[in-house]
Structure 1
Amino acid sequence: GGALISLLRREKRRMRTVTADPRRAPFTPLQYLTAHLDSAHTGAGPVGHGYTKDNLDQATLDYTFPMGENVTGVSLDTTDHGGHFTGSVGTGQLRWLERILKEHRDGYVVLFTHHNSWTMGNKRPDPARPGEARHDGNEVVALLREHRSAVAWINGHSHRNVVLPHGSFWEISTASHIDFPQLARVVEIADNKDGTLSLFTTLIESAAPRETDFTDLSQSGLASLYRELALNAPGSRQDLAGLKDARNTELLLRR
């Protein structure tokens, strides 16, 4: 906060006014869901991209999707709808996740959230559900550990590669596409046919050249410029790639 305020004051003379544009107005959760389910804007991929009419009717942002043979992905909304950057989940969400884990007891479940377990300590009520209790990351970990179907929890928020063992499942937190070194991660699940599963977590990055050509406005040229901006951004960090054992890994589970 203080560093950002100092930067803004120091660079005040170089600032310019950005023309107001109503198309940049923020979406409400309801508008966000409605846009996904608008048949005029389906685009590539499944209608709703995971969201269904039930989400719209119940004003929820949680959904499931098939990831492969006997593997179900679960997207859980951990954001604070009151506006704070840390997260949590409501009682209704936690019970919904529990039902999904039970329904897929004979298969495998991979949980996806924005926040990781250690940034879910904000239990402030959801303004839309002021009477509902909120639950932190430790409670999500405890629930996942109760169900053999849970094999991985994949998340982000901290913009840093971290891998944590939780006994019966792995928590895999992945770096950001906006911060240097702009890594993404491919997660693959393999049945070793010996009573174990392997989770392979492979990092990938942009193939754009590292040297920026300011006259190159092609897709790869703009990607190069973006890489340079990320590296030189105020406050940029050099440790977000994480430790070696949190990058390209094979994570084992007994099953």
Structure 2
Amino acid sequence: MAMHLDRRFTGRGPVGHGYTKDNLDSGRLYYSFRVSDRVVGISLDSTDPGGHYQGSLGTAQLDWLDRTLAAHRDDYALVFSHHPSWSMDNFTPDPNRPDEKRHGGDEIIALLRRHPNVLAWINGHSHRNRIRPRGTFWEIATASHVDYPQLARVIEITDNRDGTVSLHTTLIESAAPHRTDYHDLSQTGLASLYRELAFNAPGKDGSLVGDAKDRNTELLLKR
């Protein structure tokens, strides 16, 4: 977090990339931020400090999420986390808060359903394109930049002015060539080599790309 707040490493993004000195001083790795006039983003810290690669939320963070969504009841809300609901089943106690309960994916889905302003829960971790309806919102997971198919995703919100809202979930990939010149050490050449190595990796899982319903979609919600 200190590195995010160091202006030497800002790059093209804002200093902190969402984190503030208050986050650094308190050790709290979750926060909210303004996406647009009508949309608020809520970033969760789903890593369990007790260890293991699956995630969960502590009670303090879950209560904060509930309060933050209530405070922004007049905004649309997008919730972000590293872990998806199906990977949040790690209830190892936090060593710094051994008596605090940990909460999994089903409890988080239930909480988000209580807030009609939530449009989507956006996450990763599984390295797989996967979109699931959650009743009042959509859960949207996107593949990794490390493993094939190395995709990112642009999510656009459209108010259709007919009582519905659409989420457009367009996948994007690198413009680097699929096959590289091994003597080309330019940025494009290295990106191309990266794609080729990922495609030919012995452990490649072709199913990570997902089905058609997990990729370029228009997801409709009544609002």
**Fold conserved between structures, TM > 0.5:** yes
Instruction: Specify the alignment match of 1:20 in structure 2.
Output: none
Deviates more, 1:198-207 or 1:229-238: 229-238
Instruction: Specify the alignment match of 2:19 in structure 1.
Output: 51
How much does 1:161 deviate? 0.6
Instruction: Specify the alignment match of 1:13 in structure 2.
Output: none
Residue identity in the other structure for 1:100: T
After TM superposition, the structure 1 = structure 2 runs for residues 29-178 of structure 1, keeping only pairs within 5 Å, are 33-178=1-146
2:149 is the counterpart of 1:191: no
Secondary structure at the aligned position of 2:208 is classed as coil
How much does 1:168 deviate? 0.5
Residue identity in the other structure for 2:42: V
Aligned partners of 1:152, 1:180: CA distance in 2, in Å?
25
Deviates more, 1:227-236 or 1:105-114: 227-236
Residue identity in the other structure for 1:132: E
Residue identity in the other structure for 1:146: R
TM-score (norm 2): 0.97
Q: 5+ residue gaps in structure 2?
A: none
Residue identity in the other structure for 1:81: P
**1:157-210 C-alpha deviation (Å, 9 max, x unpaired):** 111111100111000011110111101000000100000000000000011111
How much does 1:39 deviate? 4.4
Aligned partners of 1:158, 1:107: CA distance in 2, in Å?
29
How much does 1:38 deviate? 3.0
Aligned partners of 2:200, 2:10: CA distance in 1, in Å?
37
8 Å CA contact 2:51, 2:92 repeated in 1 = no
Q: 5+ residue gaps in structure 1?
A: 1-32
Q: Given the superposition, is the C-alpha separation of residues 54 and 189 from structure 1 closer, same or farther in structure 2, using an over 3 Å criterion?
A: same
Deviates more, 1:35-44 or 1:67-76: 35-44
Aligned partners of 1:36, 1:217: CA distance in 2, in Å?
28
Structure label with greater radius of gyration: 1
The one of 220, 239, 242 equivalent to 2:207 is: 239
The one of 171, 176, 181 equivalent to 1:208 is: 176
TM-score (norm 1): 0.85
RMSD: 1.1
Q: Percent identity?
A: 64
Secondary structure at the aligned position of 2:158 is classed as strand
How much does 1:98 deviate? 0.5
Q: Which has the higher helix share?
A: 1
Aligned length: 223
Residue identity in the other structure for 1:59: G
**Displaced runs of 4 or more, over 4 A:** none
Q: Given the superposition, is the C-alpha separation of residues 208 and 39 from structure 1 closer, same or farther in structure 2, using an over 3 Å criterion?
A: closer
Deviates more, 1:72-81 or 1:52-61: 52-61
RCO higher in structure (CA 8 A, sep ≥6): 2
Aligned partners of 1:217, 1:179: CA distance in 2, in Å?
21
Secondary structure at the aligned position of 2:35 is classed as strand
Aligned partners of 1:151, 1:41: CA distance in 2, in Å?
32
